[in-house]
Chain A
Amino acid sequence: MAKFESSNQVARNSPVKAYFIHHIRTLISSLGFLTRNGLSTVMTMTVIAIALALPSGLYVFLTNISHVSVGWDNSAQISLFLKSDVTEKQAQQLVKKLNLYEDIKTVKLIHKDDALEEFQRISGFGEALESLGKNPLPHVIAAQPKIDPQRADKIQHLLKELRNLKEVDIAQLDLQWVKRLYSMLEIAHRGIWVISVLLALAVLLVVGNTIRLDIQNRRAEIEVTKLIGATNAFIRRPFLYSGLWYGLSGGVLAWILTSISIGLMENSVEQLASLYNSGFQLQGLYFNEAMTLIGFSCSLGLLGSWIAVSRHLHEIEPS
């Protein structure tokens, strides 16, 4: 055995060094291989990118809506439209009375003249309204409840109480749609998870299939390297690296796609926000979120190629 094994020991790298040298070589040559396969590589990358950009775009969208809606938490308010024959003085007395309610945080009287003026200013129907002669609007009291928006029963109770006041014509709760929005956001968030999981599976399949074809195309090469004494780990490595590259490039591309989409939407969102007197700005992916996206993408690429490799590589043996 002596000669059989020792003849090769001369100028070989230490195992650890050889290991790293080989990894780097493979990393680079697998990149070279991918660039040589131009079109199919680009296609795989793009499919991955689109599959990942979709949930991340949705995520950005929802995060933004949640940001906006945080401000609405406190703005759940009850509008009390007073009967038209209620005088200003009566209205002010009612305000004082409401201020004593323990379930009510703030109370504000919106005088019907102010309301009319505001309405004329905004609507541009000034002349038409003037021709009516008399102000058709009632006084309105805006009351902000001091109740957890989740406690629908308590709010309903308060609402009923207010409706029964003799000055009040209509009591309207603006909470309903806030709650609805919240539950919709909740559903949408769950939806994103479902979509993400499905699309992650799609990415796995795409990478797995690409690597499987890769393995088939390089069948002869795999046989020869096995014959020359390559271990399975050696043969596996370039395919795993290809998967990693696919994941990395797909992830970066997904980030770019998401950013571009946000950029395209930014203008119109800002216009919309300014209509509502809001200084709202669209917030894209934060850096750490982008890194998570890319990291996730890399893991998917690696996992997809791992599955393909472990399923198909051992089928190839020299004969």
Chain B
Amino acid sequence: MIHFDNVNKRYPGGHEALINLSFHIPRGQMAFLTGHSGAGKSTLLKLIALIERPSRGNILLDGINLSQIKNSKIPYIRRNIGIIFQNHHLLYDRTVFDNVALPLIIAGYTHNEVGKRVRAALDQVGLLNKEKVAPITLSGGEQQRVGIARAIVHKPGLLLADEPTGNLDPELSREIMELFARFNQVGVTVLIASHDLDLIGQMQRPVISLKDGLLVHDDLAEMTSHG
């Protein structure tokens, strides 16, 4: 699903955020990306979502070489990725329903279908009764779940989450992770960046570790070399 092949990312100013990165995350896998703050986790996710472009090397997403994607085609790639951020990125002048509906509106779903899918997504994150409220009235955990509902409402093949539990207490964090695990069970590939090692330990999923932009540990590579 995700192939990194000798990827380098140098930011303007010369900082090497990622250095010679190669790994492979198979389809349907759920994996964690970890490392200290500044290790390059967010940069790695941004490369997959085409928010940034690599300075060198190739990234393949489901067989598509992302370096061959023109800027005008980026939206169509992103529609197959659900992205979840630490700080929600919700639109606070719209209801929960309208926030979650956004990806469907963009993709041109019918009115009926939008209603059905938004409610299904809100149901999955346990917020069905909140569809009409403004996001600002929700707790941090609830807002994060609205963000998750928005990320999965159009059933993307890939979920990327950047520190999705960064602001949450351990119990809520755990709930969110269980939610991701459930999506993964129905075939969605999930990649979660987090520095919460306790939580990652509990989940028992393969881990990719970065340190100063270098790959220092890759469970997935070990799995393939062992198998």
CB closest residue in chain A, given B77: A229
Instruction: Out of B80, B106, B158, name the residue touching A230 (CB < 8 Å).
Output: B106
Instruction: Decide if B175 is an interface residue (CB 8 Å cutoff).
Output: no
Measured between alpha carbons, how far is A1 from B80 in the docked complex, in Å?
11
Mark out the residues of chain B between 52 and 102 whose CB falls within 8 Å of any chain A CB in the assembled complex. 61-64, 72, 75-81, 83, 89-91, 93, 102
Contact at A229–B62, with CB atoms within 8 Å?
A: no
Is B155 part of the binding interface, using a Cβ–Cβ cutoff of 8 Å? yes
With A12-B113, A228-B150, A230-B75: A318-B106 Cβ-Cβ less than 8 Å: no
Determine which of A13, A220, A317 lies in contact with B108 in the assembled complex, contact meaning CB atoms within 8 Å: A13
Min Cβ gap B191→A in Å is: 15
B113 touches A5 (CB 8 A): no
Residues 143-158 of chain B: 1 if any A CB is under 8 Å from the residue's CB, otherwise 0? 0000000100011111
Chain A CB within 8 A of B110 CB: yes
B213 at the interface (CB under 8 A from A): no
Q: Do the beta carbons of A22 and B91 come within 8 Å of each other?
A: no
The A1-33 residues at the B interface (CB cut-off 8 A) are 1, 3-5, 7-8, 10-13, 15, 18-19, 21-22, 25
Which of B49, B80, B109 touches A4 (beta carbons < 8 Å)?
Answer: B80
A residues less than 8 Å from B78 (CB atoms): 226-229
B108 touches A12 (CB 8 A): yes
Q: Is the CB of A19 within 8 A of B108?
A: yes
Chain A count of residues within 8 A CB distance of the other chain: 32
B49 & A13 in contact (Cβ 8 Å cutoff) = no
The B interface is mostly helix, strand or loop, or mixed, namely mixed
Determine whether the beta carbon of A228 is less than 8 Å from that of B106. Answer: yes
- Contact residues in B for A230 (Cβ distance below 8 Å): 75, 106
Cβ-defined contact, A22 with B80, below 8 A: no
The yes or no answer to A64 lying at the interface (CB within 8 A) is no
> Smallest Cβ distance from B10 to chain A, in angstroms?
16
Which of B63, B75, B77: most chain A Cβ within 10 A? B75
Residues of B within 8 A of A317 (CB): 51
A4-B61 Cα distance, complex, nearest whole Å: 9
A220, B91: Cβ atoms under 8 Å? yes
**Is B216 in contact with chain A by the CB < 8 A criterion?**
no
B105 touches A (CB below 8 Å): yes
For the complex, is B107 an interface residue (Cβ under 8 Å from A)?
yes
Task: Determine the distance from Cα of A230 to Cα of B80 in the docked complex, in whole angstroms.
Answer: 12
Question: A22 touching B75 by the CB < 8 A rule?
Answer: no
> CA A234 – CA B106 in complex, angstroms?
7
A224 within 8 Å of B (CB atoms): yes
| Chain A residue with Cβ nearest B187 | A3
User: Would you give 6 A-B contacts (Cβ < 8 Å), ordered by A?
Assistant: A227-B83, A229-B75, A229-B79, A229-B106, A229-B107, A234-B106
